[in-house]
């Protein structure tokens, strides 16, 4: 009977988690996450680093639009006009996580993990990642279908890089 190779630990799979955490700690900042297509993977990656309780406030898995509205304050009109997979919704998710969880930085991720297209024909691999701070919000668009799990992992890597960059920008980080 052959053994399957062990899955890498999250901290090994996402080494960017350590760098993001170190930048948050050095700046004295906290982060909160709001995740849709990543389903909690960003929060899991961030908290895989020992000592992460110093800078991670918490998170919301907002897979359903009703949760985006009720828990994060996403405007239903934005969902109607732009769709759940949009820069505007990612921004509102990030802002909602930041304010509702009392963090210096809020992160919002929304997209189409795949397989296949979603609402309005938005293709698999289309993801928006937003980081909101006191000085504004930065949004990054990801395109290209890499398969469901790699689409999710890629979104987490982008989010960790944006957190790192925002934390290195200082106490008013974000924009």
CATH code (residue 16): 3.90.950.20
pTM of the model: 0.92
- Measure the CA–CA gap between 46 and 21, rounded to whole angstroms: 7
- Measure the CA–CA gap between 17 and 164, rounded to whole angstroms: 9
- Measure the CA–CA gap between 40 and 60, rounded to whole angstroms: 8
Whether the upstream peptide bond of residue 115 has omega within 30° of 0, thus cis, is: yes
65: domain range?
10-120+139-168
Structure tokens at 33: 């996450």
Name the β-bridge partners of 70: none
Indicate whether 174 belongs to any domain: no
78-99: pLDDT as tens digits: 999 999 999 999 999 999 999 9
Q: Specify the number of domains making up the chain.
A: 1
Counted residue by residue, the chain has a size of 175
pLDDT class for 35, splitting at 50, 70, 90?
Answer: very high
Indicate whether 129 belongs to any domain: no
109-152: pLDDT as tens digits: 999 999 988 767 899 999 999 999 998 999 999 999 999 999 99
Lowest mean pLDDT among 9-13, 72-76, 77-81, 154-158: 9-13
Tell me how far apart the 2 most distant CA atoms of the chain are, in Å: 57
Whose tokens are 């990030």? That residue is 94
pLDDT at 83: 96
- Measure the CA–CA gap between 170 and 175, rounded to whole angstroms: 11
């Amino acid at each position: 009977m052959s053994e399957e190779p062990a899955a890498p630990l999250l901290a090994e799979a996402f080494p960017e988690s350590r760098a993001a955490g170190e930048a948050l700690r050095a700046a004295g900042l906290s982060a909160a996450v709001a995740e849709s297509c990543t389903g909690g993977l960003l929060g899991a990656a961030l908290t895989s680093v020992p000592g992460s309780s110093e800078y991670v406030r918490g998170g919301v898995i907002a897979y359903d639009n009703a949760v985006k509205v009720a828990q994060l304050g996403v405007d239903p009109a934005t969902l109607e006009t732009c769709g759940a997979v949009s820069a505007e919704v990612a921004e509102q998710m990030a802002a909602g996580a930041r304010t509702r969880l009392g963090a210096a930085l809020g992160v919002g991720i929304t997209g189409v993990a795949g397989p296949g297209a979603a609402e309005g024909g938005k293709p698999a691999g289309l993801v928006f990642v937003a980081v909101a701070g006191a000085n504004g919000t930065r949004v990054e668009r990801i395109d290209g279908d890499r398969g469901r799990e790699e689409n999710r992992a890629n979104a987490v890597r982008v989010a960790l890089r944006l957190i790192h960059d925002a934390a290195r920008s200082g106490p008013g980080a974000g924009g």
